Structure 1
Amino acid sequence: MSARTKARKRALDILFSADVRGDAIAVALAAEAKRAVSEPARQASWLYAREIVDGVIDHQDEIDEQITTHSRDWKLERMPAVDRAVLRIATWEILHNDEVPTAVAIDEAVELAKEFSTDDSPAFVHGVLARIAASA
């Protein structure tokens, strides 16, 4: 598993836990940063996870607007928390990280949805992200 794949899982964990607990994302990120100091072996994945989460924080209104616009009749708050987090990660990568090809961002998001969400989530995530990518 690549360091970026691991980083996406860490970012998913941070975004999901903040969402479920009702914490600010920055609070969850700070808690993870404390833990990361004691895990030097995971440094490579931590750096990109932090970049993702910082990017989601910096662009959250735009990211959420894109997800809402392209989710076709699904309100953001009605989506499973895992799907919201996965969509936020991939939308940030599509719109704000030129180092990650759009197809890779979508594929990685679909894989996260397969692993951590409902049976219907991979197709839903793919559809939303494909529409976001087409409009970008």
Structure 2
Amino acid sequence: MIYVDASAIVAMILGEPDAADLASTLDEGESAITSPLAIYEASLAIARVNAIPAAIARDEVHLTLSRMSIAVAPIDEGQGHVAVSVFDRFGKGRHPAALNMGDCFAYACAAVHDARILFKGQDFSQTDLPSARSGP
């Protein structure tokens, strides 16, 4: 299973240089999930970049998730507990990964679902969470 972080969703929707590589990781047939928090983060980022209302960006995110067969996994209390522990280990001001709240919940969701994480950037590469990408 693959957990798709907000950073990967944004990159694919905005057509960033590594969008095709990110999408090809999802084309390998493995099931993929994301979370409501990732949808929120991606929607706000896309709204900001494209100067559109967040609700329109959210609709674009949902359409993309549907087209790519990415399911939305709920966030529960257990993931909240895991996210707090993740912050203690890898959080901003505590570790070079400097995970923020959204990152801590992404890590928690991936860990709880025993999923590799698909992301853009360097933050998760500084944790012990396995990456869904074969390359750097």
Give the TM-score of the pair, scaled to structure 2: 0.39
Query: Greater relative contact order (Cα 8 A, min sep 6): structure 1 or 2?
Result: 2
Q: Which has the higher helix share?
A: 1
The two structures have a TM-score, normalised by structure 1, of: 0.39
